[in-house]
Amino acid sequence: MKRLEVAGLGIILAIFLMALYVSFAWKSTPGNLIAVAWFVFVASAGPTLVLIGIHTLLLKAFPPIVMPGMPQRFVTGRAAVWPGLGFILMGLAISLFWGFFAYTVGTFNLAMLEPLIRILGVGLGIVIAVGILFSIAQRIVKFR
């Protein structure tokens, strides 16, 4: 499984390099291909997340990989199943959303693109607002 996860990271790296190449060769490529390449790059993280989730379910241990420099709480047994399923669902959701986004930009279908832009805008606004409120709450607690 670790080899599959490393292969997934290799795929992410290859797609990143492809997106960089398309961006640098902007004069010889269609304009929407640059956006499609970067959306595919974001979607490429999904398969690796799915593989990490499958690895977690097979081992019944979370996290199945050790990330250097990050404090981690190791969970085993039934408690590890939920994070594994969460990683699988999150990986599928990321791949589906950004893959569909890349498809709609590539075909330039405005009927499908409008709702996706609206969803992305509202979601980003919520995440930014929560981040700001969280930062303010941290400062208030820190000063007391």
Confidence (pLDDT) at 6: 83
pLDDT in tens, 38-97: 999 999 999 989 988 988 888 888 776 666 666 777 778 888 888 889 999 999 999 999
The answer to whether 113 and 39 have CB atoms below 8 angstroms apart is no
List C-alpha distances in Å: 41 to 19, 95, 119.
7, 10, 19
Q: According to the 3-state scheme, what is the secondary structure of 4-67?
A: HHHHHHHHHHHHHHHHHHHHHCHHHCCHHHHHHHHHHHHHCHHHHHHHHHHHHHHHCEECCCCC
The answer to whether 90 and 78 have CB atoms below 8 angstroms apart is no
